[in-house]
Structure 1
Amino acid sequence: MVNAYSLISTEPGTTPELFDKIKELEGVESVEAVAGPYDIVARIKVESLEKLTGTVFGKIRGVDGVTSTTTLIVVEIE
């Protein structure tokens, strides 16, 4: 299982609409609106890195109004 956070920037004035669209995407576990350099943080949980790539590049970045993403993959520290 791959867990990640996607830090999402949106076009001005579109955050509420995009928040609702992104939270409905397959693989997105949760969504938070945030203040700072990003507008939305999405927690993603998928089966593989290939699915993560598809979720970020195919689904999240495919939503009109998303201007950029930064993805942080969760790692296990032992």
Structure 2
Amino acid sequence: MQALVYIRTEPGKALKLLDAVKKIQGVQVAFATTGRFDIVARIEAADLKALGETIVGKIQSLPGVKYTETSLIVA
């Protein structure tokens, strides 16, 4: 299963966090963006439990991450 994870960071932390997000297992690609979110990442996981562990346990736990929003890819 795949998902897009939209990440809002603390001011000035986006580029440093982008490098950290790219190193997380399961992250296929990540970009710094403009607008409401600072980083968008596409991640892949075996199932919903593994997806949650990646998002909550790895991405949200990075220092400087304020908020995430996730959209499952359905097609």
TM-score of Structure 1 vs Structure 2, range by shorter chain: over 0.9
Gaps of 5+ in 2: none
| Aligned CA-pair RMSD | 0.5
TM-score by length of 2: 0.98
Q: Percent same amino acid at aligned positions?
A: 40
Q: Quote the offset at 1:49 in angstroms.
A: 0.4
Q: How many residues align?
A: 75
Correspondence 1:20 to 2:3 = no
Q: Quote the offset at 1:70 in angstroms.
A: 0.2
| TM-superposition CA deviations, 1:27-60 (whole Å, max 9, x none) | 1110011100000000001111000000000000
Moved runs in structure 1, 4+ residues, more than 6 A? none
TM-score by length of 1: 0.94
